């Protein structure tokens, strides 16, 4: 079986990392898998880049300019919206023609347009589409933030200025998506049961196959290591308990840094002794902007792309916290747990599927900084830490290993092939 995984980036972002890990796992299980990306970043022979920089930038800029004008030239929500009005036609590529199954991953920001998706579906090849967020099930947004419009028909979108229009940009994109999806079958895979439930309630996807399979992780790379040695390698202090926050862009409000700042402040007030014993490490772009915003000492590590250094960072810390306000199945929680690090996060999205409350971490009540503080203090000072760490590793090995995830995807591919054969 030949599978072509289509993703915007090769290495940048959670979806790209998940697609890479899946490709590797499939190849290890007898499937000939390749990735097709807009932005090729390595010399990997199994990754094909479009290598048309000027054109990829044109598709990206054309879409952003269209959205920018619809936002009345305001940057608010500029990168929360995708309308897929510009992108590549990949159906003429040799890799596309040779593939038995086309596997769409995260394909926004100038990779595929709606017209390009329509051509893929019209090719007759079985299509599997992994949902890393809600965009395939909505008109223009990646996260619904409680909006229920996608259950009937997107319109009067909260992300667009003015509100009140039933024929706004979201409704126009919705109608285009529905026209395409109503004519063709797609096997959708959500990365969490939470997102699967959202997909099943979408009027766009009511006639399609939907299941949930988590992202895979390479447990040979992400694994427990000596904490003292890891701290030496990344330059973190040996005499403090360390809290880690990770985000590709730390300033992304959806990742909940404001709640972490509040929780740390409350912890210092309730337990003044932590001021001397505890510190915070921040991994991600713009980390330095928060060096003086937390009540504890902060070690900004910046953006790191080297996987082995990231593993060192996880192994160097005592607890990982991700107070996301809405998230699918964060790779960062999975990575931390694989390294034996207990995790703390809010009860939202797919996070409670990863963190088993008081077994391998702590699930705090949504948007509750007091409970977030309680969870951090419980992990660091009250819980049986060795037991938490052991159960964290066990959870990843059981549920998220590359082998187990790839076998589930192979089953989806076979079902998609069988459906296509039956429908002919």
**Over the stretch 121-160, which tens digit does the pLDDT of each residue have?**
999 999 999 999 999 999 999 999 889 999 999 999 999 9
* Alpha-carbon gap, residue 321 to 107, rounded angstroms: 28
Handedness of CA 358, 359, 364, 369 (dihedral sign): positive
Contact 205, 136 (CB under 8 A): yes
Whether residue 320 contacts residue 314, with contact meaning beta carbons closer than 8 Å, is answered with: yes
Locus of tokens 């909505």: 138
**CA 423, CA 98: separation in Å to the nearest integer?**
21
* CA separation for the pair 267, 142 (Å, rounded): 33
Tokens, residue 232: 């030496």
pLDDT in the model for residue 366: 96
* Mean predicted confidence (pLDDT) in 58-62: 92
For residues 315 and 366, what is the distance between their CA atoms, to the nearest angstrom? 27
Complete DSSP assignment for 330-358: -HHHHHHHHTT--EEEES-TTHHHHS-BT
For 167, the token pair is 């024929």
What string of DSSP letters covers 160-172? Answer: SSS---TTSHHHH
Band (pLDDT 50/70/90 cuts) for residue 39 is: confident
Q: How far apart are the first and last CA of the chain?
A: 19
The pLDDT of residue 163: 67
CA dihedral 55, 61, 67, 73 (to 10 degrees): -160
Taking the C-alpha atoms of residue 40 and residue 90, their distance in angstroms, rounded to an integer, is 15
Question: What pLDDT does residue 328 have?
Answer: 86
Angle at 394 between CA 393 and CA 399, to 5 degrees: 105
pLDDT tens-digit map of 317-342: 999 999 999 888 999 999 999 999 99
Both tokens assigned to 327: 């998230």
CA angle 309, 313, 316 (to 5 degrees): 130
Q: What are the pLDDT digits (tens) for 369-411?
A: 999 999 999 999 999 999 999 999 999 999 999 989 999 999 9
What Å distances lie between residue 253 and 247, 249, 250, CA to CA?
10, 9, 8
Contacts of residue 150, defined as CB under 8 A and 6 or more positions apart, other chains included, come to: 134, 137, 138, 139, 144, 198, 201, 202, 203, 204
Helices (H), 36-168: 53-70, 94-98, 114-122
- Whether residue 424 is predicted with pLDDT greater than 60 in this model: the reply is no
% of the chain residues with pLDDT over 70: 98
Q: How much is the pLDDT for 164? A: 62
Assign 55 a pLDDT band (cuts: 50, 70, 90): confident
Q: What is the DSSP letter of 214?
A: P
Please, are residues 10 and 16 in contact by the beta-carbon 8 Å criterion? yes
CB atoms within 10 A of CB 137: 27
> What would the mean pLDDT of 154-175 be, rounded to a whole number?
89
> Which pLDDT score is estimated for 137?
97
pLDDT at 353: 95
Do 313 and 250 contact (CB within 8 A), yes or no? no
Mean pLDDT of 242-259: 92
CA atoms of 321 and 361, how far apart (whole Å): 10
Helix (H, G, I), strand (E, B) or coil at 306: coil
Average pLDDT, the chain: 94
- 51 pLDDT more than 80: no
- 229 band by pLDDT with thresholds 50, 70 and 90: very high
**Which structure tokens are listed for 142?**
């990646």
Q: What are the pLDDT digits (tens) for 179-196?
A: 999 999 999 999 999 999
């Amino acid at each position: 079986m030949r599978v072509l995984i289509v993703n915007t980036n090769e290495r940048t972002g959670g979806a790209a990392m998940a697609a890479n890990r899946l490709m590797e796992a499939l190849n290890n299980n007898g499937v000939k898998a390749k990735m097709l990306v807009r932005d090729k970043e390595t010399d990997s022979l199994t990754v094909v880049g479009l290598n048309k920089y000027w054109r990829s930038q044109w598709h990206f800029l054309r879409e952003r300019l269209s959205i920018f004008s619809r936002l009345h030239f305001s940057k608010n929500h500029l990168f929360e919206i995708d309308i897929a009005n510009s992108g590549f036609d990949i159906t003429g590529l040799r890799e596309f023609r040779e593939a038995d199954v086309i596997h769409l991953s995260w394909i926004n920001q100038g990779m595929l347009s709606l017209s390009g998706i329509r051509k893929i579906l019209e090719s007759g090849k079985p299509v599997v589409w992994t949902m890393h967020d809600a965009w395939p099930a909505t008109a223009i947004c990646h996260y619904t933030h409680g909006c229920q419009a996608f259950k009937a028909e997107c319109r009067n979108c909260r992300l667009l200025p003015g509100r009140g229009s039933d024929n706004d940009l979201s409704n126009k994109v919705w109608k285009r998506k529905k026209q395409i999806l109503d004519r063709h079958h797609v096997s959708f895979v959500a990365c969490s049961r939470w997102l699967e439930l959202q997909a099943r309630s979408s009027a766009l996807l009511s006639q399609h196959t939907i299941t949930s399979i988590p992202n895979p992780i390479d447990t040979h790379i992400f694994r427990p290591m000596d904490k003292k040695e890891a701290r030496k390698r990344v330059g973190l202090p040996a005499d403090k308990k360390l809290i880690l926050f990770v985000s590709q862009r730390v300033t992304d409000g959806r990742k909940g840094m404001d709640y972490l700042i509040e929780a740390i402040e409350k912890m210092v007030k309730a337990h003044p002794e932590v001021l001397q014993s505890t510190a915070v490490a921040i991994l991600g772009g713009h980390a330095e902007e928060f060096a003086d915003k937390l009540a504890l000492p902060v070690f900004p590590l910046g953006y790191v792309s080297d996987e082995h250094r990231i593993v060192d960072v996880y192994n160097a810390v005592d607890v990982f916290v991700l107070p996301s306000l809405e998230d699918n199945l964060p790779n960062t929680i999975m990575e931390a747990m694989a390294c034996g690090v207990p995790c703390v996060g809010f009860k939202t999205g797919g996070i409670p599927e990863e963190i088993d409350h008081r077994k391998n971490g702590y699930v705090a009540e949504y948007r509750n900084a007091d409970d977030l503080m309680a969870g951090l203090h419980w992990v660091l000072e009250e819980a049986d830490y060795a037991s938490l760490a052991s159960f964290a590793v066990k959870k990843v090995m059981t549920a998220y290993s590359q082998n187990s995830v790839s076998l589930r995807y192979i089953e989806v591919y076979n079902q998609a092939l069988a459906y296509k054969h039956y429908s002919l």
